Amino acid sequence: MSSKLKRNKSVSIEDDKSAALLLKSSIDQEDTSYLSEYLLQKNSHRQLKYLEDTDLENLSVLLLDFLCTPQRLLALEILKKLTNNKILPSLKQRALEFDKLVYLKGKIDFIKMKCTKNVKHKPEMEINLENIENKE
């Protein structure tokens, strides 16, 4: 890679980080005017990777307000990038963890059944159906 490309890439990363700081402060202050300018930026999605999860959650809530404005397509595009980059991987991870828990519960139940296989269970009370039928 040439030095000019490296320099341009490092400058763009620094620009993205500084723009992400501005975006973070506007999210904290719920500044919709800056968010509308943010939506009009060409590479607005590049700044999302520098935000924390709580900031992304607050941003998605703020972007819902833009669904009734002419900028709805831009807001939907950012929301789509948020769901694809953050929400879907975390949902997949939780699904895997849930599958592991179900598997372990099945193993525990199997071990319990195996241990109690030789134990004979007697009911607490026996009901004679013959006595009930004779009474009627």
Find the range with the poorest average confidence among 1-10, 11-20, 37-46, 94-103. Answer: 1-10
Taking residues 61-73, report their average pLDDT: 88
Q: Number of folded domains in the chain? A: 1
**Angular region, 36: left φ>0, alpha ψ -120 to 50, beta rest:** alpha
Q: What is the pLDDT of residue 7?
A: 54
Supply the pTM of this predicted model.
Answer: 0.58
Is it the case that residue 10 has pLDDT exceeding 70?
no
Residues 84 and 67: their CA atoms lie apart, in Å, by 19
Range of the domain at 78: 3-135
